[in-house]
Amino acid sequence: MIKYNFNAGPSMLPREVVEQTAAAVLDYDGKGLSLMELSHRSAEFKPILDEARALMKELLDVPAGYEVLFLGGGASMHFCMVPFNLLAKKAAYLNTGTWASKAIKEARLFGEVVEVASSADKAFSYIPKDFTVPADADYLHVTSNNTIYGTQLRRDIDSPVSLVADMSSDILSRPVDVSKYSCIYGGAQKNLAQSGLSFVIVKEDALGRVGRAIPSILDYRVHIANGSMFNTPPTLPIYTALCNLRWVKAQGGVPEMERRAAERAAVVYDEIERNALFCGTAAEEDRSYMNIDFVMAPGYEALEGGFIDFAVSRGVVAIKGHRSVGGFRASCYNAMPLEGARTLATCMKDFEKKVQG
Ligand SMILES: *Cc1c(COP(=O)(O)O)cnc(C)c1O
């Protein structure tokens, strides 16, 4: 039986990317050595890093004046690196959930943080639209896709100040107007590679303005000056990222990823709406293409565990919702084939028939 992996992260990667990584672990490029055993300064690794950085720029249409970095640490490290490097006096943050709240907490260590709006009043089930950004803020921080709550900003919003975005869970799933941002960052383990790696796209002339001492390892300028090799980078995850970036390009690039994401999401959301047993939790206009959250409809709550078991019996795995919200979450990142979304929808239909007899 084919298994469809709906994990939120670390999550599904294209099968060929997993196989290419596995082959490189055993013997990289016929060299008789594992990629894990090669120096990051070696003639073999340098082209991997260079091509991965170049492909990020190419696929996301990154303008001149921006650099791409691949660092260890995960998205959470950038919750502190971003304000360390970019917050001189005041920054604006949009609070759309757990990850945004964590970013806000770290930023408060570095200056004044204005929370411009929050959707905490409705359990982060929507993205606030009416808010004012102070014109003297150094940046406005947004979380483009709220992995836990299943809401997504599917466009680059207008703001009087430049944007900073945590795009951990929707990078490479839609075209982005990078010129609106001074920094885009995220963990790699949702839509790019395995865990242990983070990515950053940073505008060079936004840096060096904070007037505080920054430890070298946390200074974006130091990483840029060292070509993303200030210290030993996570070499194997960078190779996986490269294989995945090549895969995205071969499939037709980011616009094609967006088309597929919309198609998959429609299959699942349509079934949630049609099916009497389930209901969605996110506001319709803010629903995420990447993480589809739903719960048992009122009166059917007791069937939650039963549906998870039924889904597993059909090869639909890891649809349990985040521990903080419960219910179900079907994460449909770039690697999820349309057939996976259809299998989940069929599973929901068949479960409804089974329950209603
Ligand atoms: C998963 C996730 C994070 C946390 O990433 P780490 O790499 O574990 O630090 C942060 N933000 C968003 C939007 C996420 O989905």
pLDDT tens by residue, 175-215: 999 999 999 999 999 999 999 999 999 999 999 999 999 99
Q: Is 184 in the pocket of ligand 1 (CB under 6 A)?
A: no
pLDDT at 323: 86
Confidence of residue 115 (pLDDT cuts 50, 70, 90): very high
pLDDT tens by residue, 300-351: 999 999 999 999 999 999 999 998 888 999 999 999 999 999 999 999 999 9
Q: Is 96 in the pocket of ligand 1 (CB under 6 A)?
A: no
Work out the mean pLDDT of the chain and round it to a whole number. Answer: 97
Q: Is 150 in the pocket of ligand 1 (CB under 6 A)?
A: no
SS3 at position 151? strand
DSSP string, 172-213: TSS---GGGEEEEEEETTTTTSSSS-EEEEEEGGGSS-S-S-
What is the CA(176)–ligand 1 centre distance, in A?
A: 19
In degrees rounded to 5, what are phi and psi of residue 67?
A: -120, 150
For this structure, is 99 an active site residue? yes
Whole-model pTM?
0.98
What residue's CA is closest to ligand 1, atom 7? 74
Q: How far apart are CA 266 and CA 250, in angstroms?
A: 24
Q: Is the peptide bond before 175 cis (omega within 30 degrees of 0)?
A: no
Cα 156 vs. chain centroid, distance in angstroms?
Answer: 15
Q: Are 23 and 36 in contact (CB under 8 A)?
A: no
> Where do the domains of the chain lie, and which CATH numbers do they carry?
15-251 (3.40.640.10), 253-356 (3.90.1150.10)
Q: Which atom in ligand 1 lies closest to the alpha carbon of residue 187? A: 7
DSSP 286: G
SS3 at position 177? coil
Q: Scanning the structure block, which residue is given the tokens 């990629």?
A: 35
How many alpha carbons lie under 13 Å from residue 345 in its C-beta half-sphere? Answer: 18
Q: Are 219 and 69 in contact (CB under 8 A)?
A: no
